[in-house]
A = this chain, B = another copy of it.
Amino acid sequence: MTKFTVLILGSASAAPTLTRNQTSQLINIDEQYYLMDCGEGTQLRLREHKIKIQRINHIFISHLHGDHYLGLIGLIQTMHLLGRTNELTIYCPSNLQEIVEVNLRVSESHLRYPIVYKHVDAKNSKLVYENEKIEVISIPLNHRIACSGYLFKEKPKRRRINPKAIKTYNVPKHQINKIKLGEDFVSENGEIIKNLRLTLKSLPSFSYAFCSDTKYFTPIIPIVKDVDLLYHEATFSDEHSERADKTHHSTAKQAAQIAVHSGAKRLIIGHFSNRYSDLNVLLEEAKTVFEKTEIAEEGRVFEVSFLQ
């Protein structure tokens, strides 16, 4: 099975606390690392979890409130200090480039590695990245300033070799790769064995959606339809729904409603206001609407490829 996990590095909202760091998550898809947001102190959280920072080649920034990007300059500079030469791609609102560049300019830092900025349009859902295994699609959110979530989707996987059939039809080893790629097999006596007979059903493809700061916003629903794991912010409890609305944040109940309506398999809630020392208030509230809810606890690893 493909490795597809989400490590929670921070779950606080604007003001960090001693137990909750600012937003950041590390997505690991078969040892390819993708960093989601980068609040102040993220480089230390990565170090705590023994994450090799030079293996992060893609950083996604949802929006330019400090609690989501203020750790980025430090991380970029530490990557440089530790000898990075590999390109780093940052998916972000266009203004972020100006911020990074002014910091590098005043400190007279001349990075030995290139940074590529991919400016994400916060108004339209678009494919922002793909490789042979996954695609990443932006999710327009509704916050006080331009803000995008990101949907990570594994592409459909190839059918798997059926070792029994390979033996039965005497398929030579050097043909296996072609069969993996979907070809039929022609035996020594000219018989055509269809690929379907030589292979097994492909493994399922999984998906993870990161919905950073947003008020309750139904246009998210069709984009994250049937997602395996949904992260949705839940800054407040229902009791503070007016405050949530005013500050363009969501309540735990609203996060759960998005999970229900999108047919998500599981939900993680995070970005908690520092008024909640006991997060069970938020967890219980979400669970009344959507049972399979969990808390984005610092240091917790969620498996996205989770067979039910």
A residues neighboring B (CB under 8 Å)? 14-18, 40-41, 43-44, 47-48, 64-67, 70-71, 73-74, 77-78, 81-82, 93, 95-96, 98-99, 102-103, 106-109, 144-145
Contacts and interface: CB of A to CB of B under 8 A. Distances in A.
10 contacts: A14-B78, A16-B74, A41-B41, A64-B107, A65-B107, A66-B73, A67-B74, A70-B73, A93-B106, A98-B106
Contact of A48 (B18, B40, B95): B18
B74 A47 contact: no
Contacts of A71: 40
B40 A74 contact: yes
A14 B81 contact: yes
A144 B108 contact: yes
B70 A66 contact: no
B14 A77 contact: yes
A64 B102 CA distance: 11
Given A40-B71, A41-B40, A145 B18 contact: no
Question: How many subunits of this chain does the assembly comprise?
Answer: 2
Given A18-B48, A93-B106, 19 more contacts: A14-B81, A15-B82, A40-B41, A40-B43, A40-B70, A40-B74, A64-B107, A66-B73, A66-B77, A66-B107, A67-B74, A70-B73, A70-B74, A70-B103, A95-B106, A96-B106, A98-B102, A98-B106, A108-B145
A93 to B, nearest CB: 8
A106 B102 contact: no
Q: What are the nearest 5 A-B pairs in CB distance?
A: A95-B106, A64-B106, A40-B74, A41-B41, A66-B77
A132 B305 CA distance: 66
A78 B44 CA distance: 20
Contacts of A144: 108
A7 to B, nearest CB: 17
Which of A40, A64, A65, A93 is packed against the most chain B CB atoms within 10 Å?
A40
B108 A99 contact: no
Contacts of A67: 74
Contact of A99 (B16, B93, B106, B109): B106
Contacts of A15: 78, 81-82
A104 to B, nearest CB: 9
Contact of A74 (B66, B81, B98, B103): B66
A73 B15 CA distance: 12
Contacts of A78: 14-16
A276 to B, nearest CB: 16
Contact of A47 (B18, B47, B73, B77): B18
Contacts of A14: 77-78, 81
